[in-house]
Structure 1
Amino acid sequence: MSTGADRGTEVRYHHSASFPGVLEDAGCGLLVSTYQAGQLVAIGVADGRPSFSFRRFDNAMGVALGADRLVVGGKNQVWTLRDHSDLAPAIAPAGTYDRCWLPRSSVVTGAIQCHEVTWGVTETGEPDLWLVNTLFSCLAGLDETHSFVPRWKPPFISRLAPEDRCHLNGLAMRDGRPAYVTAMAPSDEARGWRAVRNDSGLVLDVASGEVVTAGLAMPHSPRWHEGSLYVLNSGWGRLERVDLASGQRDVVAMLPGYARGLAIHGHLAFIGLSKIRETAVFGGAPIAEYHDRLKCGVGVVDLRTGDTLATLEWETGVAEIFDVQVVPGARCPTLGSAEDEVWLLPSP
């Protein structure tokens, strides 16, 4: 099957027979960012078949879904799309969609390598956006005056510098506050993580700065869910569960791709899978040994059994996934149409 991700671009895909039914039974849609292809994709089900809606954002990485808005981290900007689900049924083909987000504004950050973005809450209960600022090795917030406002850095980072020292890349929230982060190495030198990335990855506790678990290969996407901490041991293509007391990890599932992007909904884990770029950074990852068998797409894993219940695979047009987010309660979400522009006017 194929669909157009952009005018003149063809994206070919296939999926397991179970994929539409898994989404329908879970009562959710998906948002998937495709870093290399520069697209955000909304995925749902229409007439028993997968539905795709594409919107271009250069170097689309982290995705944060809030109550009334959607935030996307891009190459030099952090974009905000507002929820306009009241318009969804009218977007062509009419009657297909039930959720909709449209771009409304952006904040220019410069090329800070903004990886994950996520919503928390302030002490007064207000929405609070957190960025993983990989270039400056810190967690940050947005500001109208500055490129970003530093809010936390690992204890081994001596100062903020645009040097990608440890490749801080993932953030898990717990009770609305930053709880755990992933980094590829405890390095305090410019791009020092690149020298030892295959067994130097770690998860840090934000509150204490202490190491929770170490020895991972290029970890990403830590997530706290129902009393457990999960992490993607990306270089090995594994979803793992972390024992907070001992730092030991159990393998929940093995995956046929570089695992990056994790969303958990009930007992289901939706995991982004990527092919490996043959570069000095990714070519040496342990999973690169299986380069010809790696897939790009989304795998759905049952956390109770470790079984893969469904898969979606892109064959052409998309080679790398960065983030995956669940849209609870959605049947068929859309990002509007970049070709058939939608104008929003105030009521008279």
Structure 2
Amino acid sequence: MTRTTVTVKLKRRSASRLPNPFSPMSQSSNTSVQPGQAIACSISDSFISWMSQAQGAIALTTYQANKVAFIAWNGQQVTLLMRQFPKPMGLAVGEQCLALATREQVYIFANAPQLANSYLEDQPGRYDTLYLPRVVYFTGDLNTHDLVFGQDCLWLVNTRFSCLARLSNQFNFIPHWQPKFISQLVPEDRCHLNGLALVNNRPKYVTALGESDVVGGWRADKATGGILIDVENSDILLRGLSMPHSPHWHQGYLWLLNSGKGELWRVHPQTLQHDVVCILPGFLRGLTFVGSYALVGLCQIRERHIFGNLPVQERFRQLLCGVAIVDLQNGQTVGMLEFTAGCQELYAVQFLPSVFRPNILNAERVEIYQAFTAPGIDYWLRPSAEIQD
């Protein structure tokens, strides 16, 4: 597999300037990080080829590097945009919107495509999508993992309180379901509830790292204590998993990452028998699907006091951090983007269909106060648009 190695240098830039952070991966990408920090990427030629035909962009979060990243194909080359957020974790994709869980907030972003086109006055059309922050919920540090849009609400996996929850205008959260072995909702991360899969727009499957009702009890048997739970009846469907994450319903099957072994599983919902579709050299976290392909996030193991001594470390001498494209028909890896420096852990991996030149603004960007949208109205409040005497 032929690969191309590039380095994305990240430098501080004055907030008063309108930057151009969306750059080809062979050039520089600027965002608000520590001076001198660099993220190096290695991408296979087959990854580039797949992206050129995918008709969309990849979005991912890395809480270790405090970034939300968009990987896209602009018609000529693979491009990368990175924005700074405090501990970004769960990322949900809705109709013309995104939801993002950070350390103490959940952000709702709305796309403003007309403003995207004119984001750079001297380069019209540079972007086709612009996600602007519209609502921020101050949840506190819930250690929110997965976020998933349902039919009429956004579901949160509230890991700290071991429950599924919804957002509220009055409270930090509203609990709606908890495993039957959890006796009370207290901020003790008793089972490390982390993943949620919806079926017919309703919560159906969740993953947890242990069947525990004591503070941090999942840690004692983390390598083999993982479970899959049916939300509808609270039955434990599978036991003995190795730190499972990212359950997903696709093509009539439940898919999940048996993360501690580096395995992508396909689970038959009637029999609960599973197939190991592939084994990858990383602690797996982040899963989504594009037709007959899976996008799988790989992580290195940074917090060894929490994630050390796992089977995947015995299988592979070196673990990778990046995104693998897996052909579901044969389990083969058909493309790989690897972070070789500056990024060690991913959490969420999502796909944005029909998005080719995406942009997203965090709350620190002055441009969010210059952008105005209303039904039938899209307007940049800039000196060039003001009436001159």
Distance 1:176 1:117 in 2: 13
Moved more, 245-254 or 210-219: 245-254
Distance 1:318 1:91 in 2: 28
Q: Give aligned-pair identity as a percent.
A: 39
How far did 1:336 drift? 4.5
Q: TM-score, normalised by structure 2?
A: 0.84
Distance 2:339 2:365 in 1: 22
The answer to whether the Cα contact below 8 Å between 1:52 and 1:334 also exists between their aligned partners in 2 is no
The answer to whether the Cα contact below 8 Å between 1:267 and 1:304 also exists between their aligned partners in 2 is yes
Tell me the residue number matched to 2:372. Answer: 345
Tell me the residue number matched to 1:261. Answer: 286
Q: What are the superposed Cα offsets for residues 248-286 of structure 1, whole Å, 9 maximum, x if unpaired?
A: 221001111111000112111001111001422111221
Distance 1:204 1:95 in 2: 46
Computed over aligned residues only, the root mean square deviation of the Cα atoms, in angstroms, reads 1.8
Query: How many equivalent residue pairs?
Result: 343
How far did 1:290 drift? 5.5
The one-letter code matched in structure 2 to 1:344 is A
The one of 74, 89, 95 equivalent to 1:46 is 74
Distance 2:49 2:316 in 1: 30
In the alignment, is residue 24 of structure 1 matched against residue 52 of structure 2? yes
Tell me the residue number matched to 1:2. Answer: 7
The answer to whether the Cα contact below 8 Å between 1:276 and 1:291 also exists between their aligned partners in 2 is no
Larger Rg: 2
The answer to whether the Cα contact below 8 Å between 2:281 and 2:316 also exists between their aligned partners in 1 is no
Q: What are the superposed Cα offsets for residues 83-139 of structure 1, whole Å, 9 maximum, x if unpaired?
A: 112222333454332222122331111111000101001xxxxx3100000000000
Distance 2:76 2:237 in 1: 43
Q: SS state of the match for residue 311, structure 1?
A: strand
Q: What are the superposed Cα offsets for residues 51-71 of structure 1, whole Å, 9 maximum, x if unpaired?
A: 111121111000011113211
Tell me the residue number matched to 1:317. Answer: 342
Distance 1:149 1:339 in 2: 31
In the alignment, is residue 108 of structure 1 matched against residue 113 of structure 2? no
Q: TM-score, normalised by structure 1?
A: 0.94
Q: SS state of the match for residue 117, structure 2?
A: helix
The answer to whether the Cα contact below 8 Å between 1:20 and 1:48 also exists between their aligned partners in 2 is no
Tell me the residue number matched to 2:61. Answer: 33
The answer to whether the Cα contact below 8 Å between 1:113 and 1:133 also exists between their aligned partners in 2 is yes
Distance 2:274 2:338 in 1: 28
Structure 1: which 5+ runs fail to align?
Answer: 122-126
Distance 1:164 1:64 in 2: 22
How far did 1:41 drift? 0.7
Choose between structure 1 and 2 for higher RCO, CA contacts under 8 A separated by at least 6 residues. Answer: 1
